[in-house]
Amino acid sequence: MRRGAFGAEQEEYMANPNPRKRQPGEGRSVRLSAYLTTDLEAQLETHLSGMTPYQRSREIARLLMCGLEVEAQPPGQPRKSDS
């Protein structure tokens, strides 16, 4: 076993020599890098545990969009979820 993303142990395995072709989705693929505090990393790993890689990717994108919406709100205005 080896340590993977977020410090979780993963079994090493051979890649599938005949992978299915990926179906393009909305938007385009991006690779982001973020340095998180240990507490935040643990919270994120707990939140994402049990999800498939596809679900994890979609959830991380959703969380980023939520953060952008919160930052775009003028000070003192309630968030969409608060109304």
pLDDT (tens digit per residue) in 15-56: 667 767 766 667 777 777 888 899 999 999 999 999 998 899
Domain that holds residue 63: 45-73
Dig out the tokens for 27 from the structure: 């938007």
| Domain assignment present for 13 | no
| Domain assignment present for 64 | yes
| Domain assignment present for 32 | no
| Domain assignment present for 38 | no
| Domain assignment present for 61 | yes
| pTM more than 0.85 | no
| Domain assignment present for 53 | yes
Give residues with Cβ within 8 angstroms of 36, minimum separation 6: 44
User: What distance in Å separates the CA atoms of residue 28 and residue 74, rounded to the nearest whole number?
Assistant: 29
| Domain assignment present for 67 | yes
| pLDDT tens-digit series, residues 52-71 | 988 998 999 999 999 999 99
| Domain assignment present for 14 | no
Number of domains in the chain: 1
Range 36-44, long-range pairs (CB < 8 A, 24+ positions): 41/6, 41/7, 44/6
Burial class for 56, CB neighbours closer than 10 Å (0-12, 13-18, 19+): middle
